[in-house]
Amino acid sequence: GDSVTQMEGPVTLSEEACLTINCTYTATGYPSLFWYVQYPGEGLQLLLKATKADDKGSNKGFEATYRKETTSFHLEKGSVQVSDSAVYFCALLPGETSGSRLTFGEGTQLTVNP
Amino acid sequence: DGGITQSPKYLFRKEGQNVTLSCEQNLNHDAMYWYRQDPGQGLRLIYYSQIVNDFQKGDIAEGYSVSREKKESFPLTVTSAQKNPTAFYLCASSARLGQALSGANVLTFGAGSRLTVL
């Protein structure tokens, strides 16, 4: 079945450091890929998405590129801020199939220190 | 503003009691979902509904029940049969279930309800 694997956390960085959170997936066909973010005590918010190979999603300084050849969708940011501290979830939606459901990775906790 | 409202935010329950978590949306979304979140385990789907008066079991439906009598509402009951109910529960909705190419698959989440069984 479809699955998403994220790098294990927690990840702790200093402010202005570079961030990469790895995400790889297993799926048939051409899934859509997402990154969601969860701030402390809140629900999840969509951060960015990509619906086909080589698409780059971007938002709030974060980027992720849909790499079909490596089945990856790594999340990157060049300079993190304390306010980026949150849990980040990679997710997959099987392609072109009505009635499909999102599959989430286990989440990666990011803490950014001043 | 449109969104999803979950209540209560915090809930304590004694063992053997049923409890119902509320989820209301004013986004005019067709599909609604309930997820359970446990530390280190990500999100697991409990139930989902594509349309009023219809719902399907997710991956961990045992010990839970739902109803979808109105488009806006999708309450979740945690029954006494749920062996380990202490968790953070998240409700979500989307315009349509699936349909990746339409862009209607983006989930909007509520702020969550934290249930603690004493």
Using DSSP's 3-state secondary structure scheme, residue B44 falls into strand
| pLDDT attached to residue A30 | 83
C-alpha span between B90 and B42 (Å, rounded): 11
Q: Which residue has the tokens 């309800």?
A: B113
| A18 pLDDT higher than 90 | yes
Of A98, A105, A107, the CB nearest to B98: A98
Q: How far is B102 from chain A (nearest CA, A)?
A: 9
> What mean pLDDT do residues B63-91 have?
95
Record: contact A99-B98, CB cut-off 8 A: yes
> Cβ(B110)–Cβ(B92) under 8 Å?
yes
DSSP code, position B34: E
| B94 pLDDT higher than 50 | yes
Q: Which residue has the tokens 């300084």?
A: A61
Higher-pLDDT residue of B60, B1: B60
